[in-house]
A = this chain, B = another copy of it.
Amino acid sequence: MLSDDELALWHMWKRATESVRAEVAADIAAETGLSDPDFGVLSRVEELGGGRLRQARLADSIGFHRSRLSHHLTRMESRGLISREAVGNGVDVVITKAGSAALKRARPVHAAAVRRHLLEPLSASQTDALRTILERLADR
C-alpha cells in the first residue's frame, strides 16, 4: 500500500497535470475554437509537411493510432479545417485556408497559455528539476 505522503503526492500529481492540460486547452479553444488534438494535427502538418502530410506519417509523429486519427480528421474535415486527398495507397492531409488561419491565431495563444499555466509558476531551478524528472519518467 501507499503511505499517506505517497498518496498525497499522487493526488497532487493528478490534480496538477489535469488542470494544466485543461487550462491550456481551454485558452486555445476560447480564442480559436480549436481543441487540443485539432491544434496538434495542424501544427504537425504545418511543421513536417508545410501544409500537406501523409496520414500515416502524421499519426506516427503525434502518437495517434490510425483509427483515432481517421475519426478525428473526419470531424476536422467537416469543420473545414483540413481536406483529404487520396494518393496511391495512402491519403494526404491538407490544411485549408480556414485551418491555416486558425493555426495562425492559435500559435501565440498556445505559447502564452503554456507560459502562464506551466512555465511562469516555476522558478528557474524548478524548471531544471522538472526537466530531469520528466526525462526519467519518459524513458521507462
Contact = CB atoms under 8 A, between A and B. Distances in A.
A129 interface: yes
A133 interface: yes
Nearest to A36: B14
B15 A17 contact: no
A111 to B, nearest CB: 5
A6 interface: yes
Instruction: Identify the interface centre among A15, A122, A134: most chain B CB within 10 Å of its CB.
Output: A134
A12 B13 CA distance: 15
Contact of A10 (B12, B63, B114, B122): B114
Interface in A106-126: 107-108, 111, 114-115, 117-119, 121-122, 126
Contacts of A111: 1-2
B1 A107 contact: yes
Nearest to A8: B131
Interface of A: 1-2, 6, 9-10, 12-17, 19-21, 63, 107-108, 111, 114-115, 117-119, 121-122, 126-127, 129-138, 140
